[in-house]
Structure formats: structure tokens, C-alpha cells
């Protein structure tokens, strides 16, 4: 199977994964195994379906990276947030059942535990009815993935808690899902102004963190509420909201920011760079390739804003070239990514493929491991030029989360971190 832009779909292709209804994500529009016909392709494009998973012989190994059960759990996450979004857009004060949000997050975590090989960000939710809804659920999903990957870091940063509770990422998921709930109490003009300018220094817009915190405080776990309040804090202390101290108003910085809020901030930064939200009257831009976003996040000012351990966690769950992606190598070979290594993320394993325009000519050719063929690199990803975006491990940047975990465990008795200012 491979991931294909819907505009490149051809009659006769067969779906390898179901297509979900864009406005009702828990509803299956087309089942896996369906053969595409011209009128079906046209209808999918009208629905705003961007990508499809297409069956392709010789690429069966990719199937273990994509779980239908995980996709449905993500869709359920979208569905529970859709109703409050719809109510808010029509001026109705949303009725929030926080138990429903938590159940949806816990179910997603359970499905990820059942299918660990699919526990990374391989694609966004297709064609969600609202861009803000898509953005909210994508960020929450990425945050949960990072939290699961950084279980050792959660124990280290939440050392006052029992290890099992410290590793529990359900409050992280709930908090990240609801992090912009304060938008529901902002003037629509303030929201549209932010979407047009993305000016995070706008005081009326900044109020959404405190407004959201006031909504959820006492209703959700304190660590989830901390995400709502502090997801715009930055590791270098340049974020908000600011707090009064003996020296005046200052923002939190470093590990004084709750680790869940740091994870939410990294996930939101990734998604906002990849596909920034746009005002209602402006067409959204094309999403950036993941490799370009991850490269940007290694440059200032973004690199100063993110906890470096959490950035490595992000890189471990967001592949620059995810399995199923169509790429072209510097030697002209066109193929599909079949494997990637978080320790060297821009050197995937690629399987050469035949002519996609004719299902009768489907065939796989040579398998090329870019870790062994270092004279080659990816130059096109889904037809976008990425030849200058690749990044590789170095003395100053190593994607070695297992090594960091071992070092933290070995040094645990010697570490004396300052206490966190927020609820654990």
C-alpha cells in the first residue's frame, strides 16, 4: 500500500484503507478494498479528501504502520470535539462533558498500545469539516504520541508522582485537545485578526489561555488544566501568560513550565508551521513537507522555544518521510518509503515502484537503504522539492532518545532539578 494525493487517483485503483466522512469522521465513506471509479474519484475530491491509501503489490509491509483501529480512535477524538466547535460557531454556549473527552483520549491511547508499529504521525485527519477542528485534533494526537515516546522523561520531570501516574498521558491528551477552549469566549474579530496576522503579541488574543483555564479549572485533572493555561509558554521564557514575581511580570521558562505544556507547545508549533490556520475568507495554503518543518524547528527562534528533549521526542514520532510516502531520489529513482529510523530520520528505506498511472503496470523494483547509500538523498516528497531540507545526525544533534533515557536513569540519584511551579 502507498499514500497518494487524491488528485492523482486513477480509475481501477483499489483502496487499502477506508475513507472516512469528512464531516462525520467516525463514519466510513468507502471501505477498504473498494475499486475507484471516475464518479467516485470526483465525489471524493468534492468532499475535500486530500489523500488515499492505495493497494500496491509488493508494499504489504507498510500495512503494519497504518492501523484502521488507530485511525478510527483518532476519528472519535475529532467527533467528540466537533459538536462543541459547531455550537460555538453558531453562538451557542457549548455544553462540555469532560468525561467524554477523557474516554476518547484513553481509547486512543489503548489503540496505540495495541498497535505500537502505527504509533507515529503518518498523516493528518482527512478533510475535517473545520480547519480549527483539524488543527486541534492533529495537535492533540501528536502530543499524545510524544508523551508515550517520552515515558522516561515524564517520570524524570514528574518525580514526585508514582511512576505509573507520571507516565499517564491521558491528562496531556485532554489538556491538548481543549487547549484553545478559551477561543469560545473571544470576540470573533479577535480570532480572525489573529488568523490573518498570527501576531501572538496581541493582548486580546493572548487572553484565550486564561479564559480557557477558567473554563476547565476544577473540571479536569490539574495537569490538563496546566496545558490549557501554559501551552504558549516557551522554553527560553519568551512566551505567555506572564506571572507576577518579585521582579515584575515574567513568563515561565525551562523546566518551570509543566512538561505537558512543553509537549503541547512543541506539537502546536509543528502543526502551525506545517499548515497555519487562515481566516475564513482566505484559502488555506498548501501544507509544508514534514522534513521542511522539522528543519525549521532546528533553527532560531524556534529551537529556543522548545525543550530539546521534547524536540527529539517529536522527531521520533513525526517522520520526515513517513512509510507510504512517494519520493524521488537524487539518482532519479521514484519509489515509496517502506521503513524509517528515528535515529537517522532523513535516510529512509525506499522501494522502487512502477507507473502509477496504470494499475496494470504496478510492480516493485530495487529496495534502496539510504543509510547504506549515502551518495543518494531524497529530492522530491509527494512531488515537492525537498533536496535542501534533509538533516542528519551530527556531534551537536543526535536523535538518540534511548541514549538520553539511559543517561537519565543512570544519573537519577544525582539530579536535583528545581521544583515545578505547576501541578504535577
Residues 102 and 210 occupy one common structural domain:
yes
Q: Could you tell me which of 46, 70, 54 has the C-alpha nearest to residue 9?
A: 54
Structural domain ending residue among the three candidates 260, 295, 317? 317
Q: 13 lies in a domain?
A: yes
Residues 267 and 369 occupy one common structural domain:
no
Residues 97 and 239 occupy one common structural domain:
yes
d(CA 53, CA 42): 16
Average pLDDT over residues 357-380: 88
In this prediction, residue 91 carries a pLDDT of: 63
Average pLDDT over residues 369-392: 96
Domain, as residue range, for 7: 2-55
Do 305 and 265 form a contact (C-beta atoms < 8 A)? yes
Task: Give the H or E element holding residue 364.
Answer: strand 364-369
Of the two residues 49 and 156, the one the predictor is more confident about is: 156
Residues 209 and 156 occupy one common structural domain:
yes
Using alpha carbons, list the distances in angstroms from residue 5 to 24, 196, 382: 21, 28, 8
How many domains are there within the chain?
Answer: 3
Q: 420 lies in a domain?
A: no
Average pLDDT over residues 93-99: 82
Q: What is the mean pLDDT of the chain?
A: 90
Residues 214 and 341 occupy one common structural domain:
no
Give the percent of the chain with pLDDT over 90.
65
**Secondary structure, 3-state, 296-309:** HCCCCCHHHHCCHH
Do 251 and 243 form a contact (C-beta atoms < 8 A)? yes
Q: 175 lies in a domain?
A: yes
In this prediction, residue 92 carries a pLDDT of: 65
Average pLDDT over residues 258-270: 99
CA torsion through residues 56, 291, 122, 7, sign: negative
Residues 374 and 233 occupy one common structural domain:
no
Of the two residues 421 and 221, the one the predictor is more confident about is: 221
Q: Using one digit for the tens of pLDDT, what is the confidence trace for 128-140?
A: 567 888 899 999 9
Q: 424 lies in a domain?
A: no
Q: Sort strands 334-339 and 19-20 into parallel, antiparallel or unpaired.
A: unpaired
Q: 162 lies in a domain?
A: yes
In this prediction, residue 363 carries a pLDDT of: 73
- Does pLDDT of 409 surpass 80? no
Q: 300 lies in a domain?
A: yes
Residue 416: which pLDDT band, with cuts at 50, 70 and 90? Answer: very low
Count of CA atoms in the C-beta half-sphere (13 A) of 141: 29
- Does pLDDT of 278 surpass 50? yes
Average pLDDT over residues 308-337: 96
Q: 337 lies in a domain?
A: yes
Do 346 and 391 form a contact (C-beta atoms < 8 A)? yes
In this prediction, residue 38 carries a pLDDT of: 92
Residues 82 and 42 occupy one common structural domain:
no
Structure letter (DSSP) for residue 15? B
Count of CA atoms in the C-beta half-sphere (13 A) of 260: 30
d(CA 376, CA 353): 17
d(CA 244, CA 231): 18
- Does pLDDT of 400 surpass 60? yes
Q: 60 lies in a domain?
A: no
In this prediction, residue 123 carries a pLDDT of: 72
- Tally of CB atoms within 10 A around 32: 15
- Tally of CB atoms within 10 A around 419: 9
Of the two residues 75 and 124, the one the predictor is more confident about is: 75
Of 92-101, 213-222, 301-310, 317-326, the poorest mean pLDDT is in 92-101
Amino acid at each position: 500500500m502507498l499514500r497518494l494525493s487524491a488528485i492523482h487517483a486513477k480509475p481501477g485503483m483499489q483502496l487499502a484503507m477506508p475513507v472516512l466522512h469528512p464531516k462525520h469522521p467516525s463514519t466510513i465513506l468507502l471501505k477498504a478494498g473498494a475499486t475507484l471509479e471516475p464518479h467516485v474519484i470526483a465525489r471524493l475530491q468534492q468532499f475535500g479528501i486530500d489523500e488515499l491509501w492505495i493497494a500496491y503489490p509488493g508494499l504489504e509491509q507498510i500495512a503494519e504502520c497504518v492501523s484502521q483501529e488507530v485511525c478510527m480512535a483518532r476519528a472519535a477524538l475529532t467527533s467528540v470535539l466537533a459538536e462543541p466547535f459547531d455550537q460555538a460557531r453558531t453562538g451557542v454556549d457549548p455544553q462540555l462533558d469532560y468525561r467524554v473527552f477523557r474516554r476518547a483520549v484513553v481509547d486512543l491511547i489503548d489503540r496505540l498500545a495495541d498497535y505500537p508499529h502505527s504509533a507515529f504521525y503518518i498523516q493528518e485527519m482527512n478533510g475535517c469539516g473545520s480547519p480549527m477542528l483539524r488543527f486541534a485534533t492533529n495537535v492533540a494526537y501528536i502530543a499524545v504520541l510524544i508523551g508515550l515516546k517520552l515515558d522516561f522523561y515524564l517520570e524524570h520531570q514528574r518525580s514526585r508522582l508514582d511512576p505509573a501516574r507520571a507516565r499517564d498521558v491521558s491528562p496531556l491528551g485532554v489538556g491538548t485537545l481543549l487547549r484553545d477552549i478559551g477561543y469560545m469566549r473571544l470576540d470573533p474579530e479577535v480570532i480572525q485578526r489573529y488568523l490573518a496576522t498570527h501576531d501572538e503579541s496581541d493582548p486580546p488574543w493572548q487572553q484565550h489561555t486564561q479564559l480557557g483555564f477558567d473554563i476547565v479549572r476544577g473540571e479536569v485533572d490539574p495537569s490538563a488544566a496546566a496545558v490549557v493555561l501554559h501551552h504558549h509558554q516557551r522554553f527560553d521564557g519568551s512566551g505567555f501568560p506572564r506571572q507576577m514575581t518579585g521582579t515584575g511580570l515574567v513568563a515561565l521558562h525551562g523546566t518551570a513550565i509543566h512538561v505537558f505544556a512543553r509537549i503541547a507547545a512543541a506539537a502546536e508549533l509543528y502543526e502551525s508551521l506545517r499548515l497555519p490556520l487562515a481566516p475564513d475568507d482566505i484559502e488555506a495554503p498548501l501544507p509544508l513537507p514534514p522534513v521542511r518543518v522539522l528543519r525549521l524547528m532546528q533553527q532560531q527562534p524556534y529551537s529556543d522555544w522548545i525543550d530539546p528533549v521534547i524536540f527529539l521526542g517529536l522527531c521520533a514520532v513525526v517522520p520526515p518521510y513517513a512509510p507510504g510516502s512517494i519520493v524521488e531520489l537524487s539518482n532519479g529513482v521514484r519509489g515509496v518509503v517502506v521503513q524509517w529510523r528515528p535515529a537517522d530520520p532523513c535516510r529512509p528505506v525506499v522501494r522502487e515502484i512502477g507507473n502509477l498511472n496504470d494499475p496494470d503496470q504496478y510492480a516493485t523494483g530495487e529496495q534502496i537503504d539510504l543509510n547504506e547509500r549515502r551518495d543518494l538523498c531524497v529530492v522530491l516528497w509527494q512531488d515537492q522539492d525537498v533536496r535542501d531540507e534533509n538533516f542528519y545526525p551530527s556531534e551537536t544533534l543526535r536523535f538518540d532518545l534511548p541514549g538520553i533515557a539511559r543517561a537519565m536513569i543512570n544519573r537519577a540519584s544525582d539530579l536535583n532539578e528545581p521544583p515545578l511551579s505547576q501541578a504535577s
